[in-house]
Structure 1
Amino acid sequence: MTRSRKTSATASKPLDRLDDCRSAASPVRQITLWPDRLEETAEGALVRRIAIEAVDEVRLSVEPSGIGAKDPAQIICRVSAGAKTISFSSLRSTGILKWENQADRFALFLRALHGALKDRDGVSHVEGAPLKARLKAFLPALGVGIAGMVLAGWAFTAGQIIIGLIGLVLAVTGGYSAWIFRPTSDKPYDPAKFG
């Protein structure tokens, strides 16, 4: 009887907790890691829950920071089980154009998550943004690059040197951004390196 009470008390204690907020317009979310589940809550209400035994993918990606952040990039972790995904970031919005770098807390939470998943088979540990996110960045950048090339081509043939130079800047910027966000194959990572 004592042992079963002790086990249930241990199961009810969270392993770690991380506050996360993706924008000033969204509520602060708490991501809580329990021994048997990962939960996302906002304003005291459960938003999503994923059982540890159901997790099939942990994806880490480096993505641009929000507008106004001092850090140019943030790390985003997406934990998925089928169609459900809980994500959290190394940057947290604290107001309009205000961001807090919580990389240290993020790293500790990620380490605890990897520890909770270490005995699970069939979990993919993937590095890189999901294809949908890459396409959202790639396609507009490609459009800007192509539009810049068309503008530059027209302007130089029409004798409009300044407009042609602006078109070249757009072409180079768009082309470079499209190359950075080009869809690539997923790369596995070793969760042990975060231990």
Structure 2
Amino acid sequence: MDTATLIDRRNAGTPLRNFSVDSQAITWRDGEDGPQHSLALADVRQVRLAVEMAGQNSQVVCRVSASDGREIAFGSMRWAGIGQWEANARDFRDFLRALHVGLDDQAGPIRYVEGASMAFLAVMTALGGGLALIGAGFFVKLFLVDENAIGLVLIPAIALGVWLMRLFWPRAAKNYDPATYTTPLEGEKSSSSTGPDAELAGNEGSVTSR
């Protein structure tokens, strides 16, 4: 298989990373001159795909876990500054496909999971619940008790909290078929049918284009 590359940065606290993957390992380097690290595909035990926030947009993030507890993450959007994210969907899609092709030849066992972790969902749900409760408390005090119309400005905060709770309400992750990502890309097919990975499609920060 050919080597695929990806340049990614998760957030302000992590460096820019240059990833590459071939039939044997995932390798990455922090910045241009950082030391090179590697994770053998034979040591991979889990691949998790999840939709996460990227500023005002959303992105697909892939987390690869090894048998020794190491984990690397990369996504379809790249952090470029405070509140700024760059679309990286095409390279992410190609890298994801190359990763799954390489893992297909490994003995495993490898678990392929779709969905955020329960810990992340619980934290985000609690954050939304807290925001909704605080907003509701001040709304009752200002608008209903003090009869102060300024309490109405808290309605959007309550709505945001409820929205976060509904969006991140804890749910069990589900397994996905890795063959979804080992099939030829749409441009490589003789037919014009849409690939099954279109389920993860979104805006320019998604895995595949609609």
Which TM-score tier does this pair reach, normalised by the shorter chain?
0.7 to 0.9
Q: Supply the distance in 2 between the matched residues of 1:180 and 1:142 (Cα, whole angstroms).
A: 12
C-alpha separation between the residues in 2 aligned to 1:104 and 1:36? 22
CA-atom RMSD in angstroms: 2.3
1:52 is aligned, of 41, 48, 51, to 41
* Residue in structure 1 matched with residue 190 of structure 2 by the alignment: none
Compare relative contact order (CA 8 Å, sep 6+) and give the higher one, 1 or 2. Answer: 2
- Give the counterpart of 1:132 among 103, 110, 119: 119
Q: Distance in 2 between matches of 1:99 and 1:38?
A: 24
Gaps of 5+ in 2: 184-210
- Mapped to 1, the partners of 2:138 and 2:88 lie a distance apart of 42
Alignment pair present for 1:64 and 2:50:
no
What runs of 5+ residues in structure 1 fail to find an aligned partner?
1-9
Correspondence for 1:74: 59
In the TM superposition, what is the alpha-carbon distance from 1:104 to its structure 2 partner? Answer: 0.9
SS of equivalent to 1:132: helix
Please show how residues 108-123 of structure 1 align to structure 2 within 5 Å.
Answer: 108-120=94-106, 121-123=108-110
CA distance in 1, matches of 2:34, 2:44: 22
Tell me the SS of whatever aligns to 1:182. Answer: coil
Residue 137 of structure 1 and its aligned partner are, at CA, apart by 2.2
Letter aligned with residue 189 of structure 1: Y
After superposing on structure 2, the runs of 4+ consecutive aligned residues of structure 1 that deviate more than 6 Å are none
Q: Bigger CA drift: 84-93 or 167-176?
A: 167-176
SS of 2:130's equivalent?
Answer: helix
* 2:186 corresponding residue in structure 1: none
How far does residue 143 in structure 1 lie from its aligned partner after superposition? 0.7
Percent identical: 31
How far apart, in 2, do the equivalents of 1:87 and 1:138 lie? Answer: 22
SS in 1 for 2:151: helix
SS of the residue aligned with 2:137? helix
Q: How far, CA to CA, are the matches of 2:117 and 2:60 in structure 1? A: 13
Structure 2-normalised TM-score? 0.75
Contact map agreement 2:52 2:60 (CA 8 A) in 1 = yes
Residue 31 of structure 1, CA deviation: 1.4
Give 1:97 shift. 4.5
How far is 1:63 from its partner? 1.0
For residues 123 and 93 of structure 1, what CA distance do their matches in structure 2 show?
29
Change (3 A) 1:46 1:133: farther
Distance 1:149 1:17, change over 3 A: same
Give the C-alpha shift of residue 65 in structure 1: 0.9
